[in-house]
Amino acid sequence: MMGILHTVHETREFIGLARGEVRSVGLVPTMGCFHEGHLSLMRRAREENGFVVVSLFVNPTQFGPSEDFREYPRDLDCDARLAEEVGVDLIFNPSVEEMYPEGYQTCVEVGKLSEGLCGASRPGHFRGVATVVLKLFNIVQPDRAYFGRKDYQQLKVIERMVRDLNLPVEIVGMPIVREPDGLAMSSRNAYLSPEEREAALALSKSLSYAQGLLGKGIVSGEELRRRVEEFIQREPLARIDDVAVVDPETLDRLAEVKDEAVLALAVRIGGTRLIDNALLARPG
């Protein structure tokens, strides 16, 4: 039977006992409101580890002052049922006070990788992400941790933190899970009205459009960015935060796609900020 624990002390004790019986521990860090994207991470963790922990914590330090921390969807009962169905052993569901007790003042900064893309429009976001993920790694001490590639910059920031701080955890990046019509699954999709939900398809369609442009020989990063922006702007409900053609590892913006590039999107549909990305490959 799956356990649900709320304190660091209990969680460490529980996992410590489990380690005596299993060969490895897998961690899936989440903010809850599970969808198929989350569940795909849990299934992979179940396949590769003897014990699977899912952290469920809406982390206030990665939300900006005008962002949706209080409104972010939460449904522990539903999440627990879904996690148990895919074989999760433990949910760690701490309070804000448990993770950030009175007087807390330490944070983790991952320099350059955190500064562009979403980091430019969400100051402090990746500081909050890196800090809470390092805390979770210290609490759970997993052998492997699983993250979706939809949050591509987040994945790269965490990979860099693990390398730089010599953390003994393998980071497993998992493919984006999409709805049948192409929309990337996200907890924030629940905010979309039916009209906005249809408009949000502009993101995934623009990724396919960009790969088509690359196939036609358009390799200029700026030209690709400009044409993708024009494509998205045909959707009246879309407001672009950022469109960028970047190096898959450094996240530097590319003047030319020589081999592969990541096209990263941040677009507001109504009041909801959505992100998406795709790895673009130059033919031949």
Examine the pLDDT at 66 and tell me if it is beyond 80. Answer: no
CATH topology of domain 3-174: Rossmann fold (3.40.50)
Alpha-carbon distance of 32 to 38, in angstroms, equals 9
**Pair 259, 247: CB distance under 8 Å:** no
Q: Which residue has the higher pLDDT, 21 or 108?
A: 108
Which CATH code, of 3.30.1300.10, 2.30.38.10, 3.30.460.10, 3.40.640.10, is assigned to 187-279?
3.30.1300.10
pTM exceeding 0.75: yes
Examine the pLDDT at 28 and tell me if it is beyond 90. Answer: yes
- Number of residues in the chain: 284
| HSE value, Cβ hemisphere, 13 Å, CA-based, for 38 | 23
Average pLDDT, the chain: 96
Alpha-carbon distance of 96 to 62, in angstroms, equals 12
pLDDT tens digits for 193-223?
Answer: 999 999 999 999 999 999 999 999 999 999 9
**Pair 257, 221: CB distance under 8 Å:** yes
Catalytic residues: 38
Domain with CATH 3.30.1300.10 in the chain: 187-279
Across the beta sheet with 260-269, the strand order is 238-246, 260-269, 272-281
Banded model confidence at residue 172, pLDDT cuts 50, 70, 90: very high
**Pair 134, 158: CB distance under 8 Å:** no
Domain with CATH 3.40.50.620 in the chain: 3-174
Structure-block tokens of residue 138: 């210290």
Quick one: pLDDT at residue 68? Answer: 78
Examine the pLDDT at 186 and tell me if it is beyond 90. Answer: yes
Examine the pLDDT at 22 and tell me if it is beyond 90. Answer: no
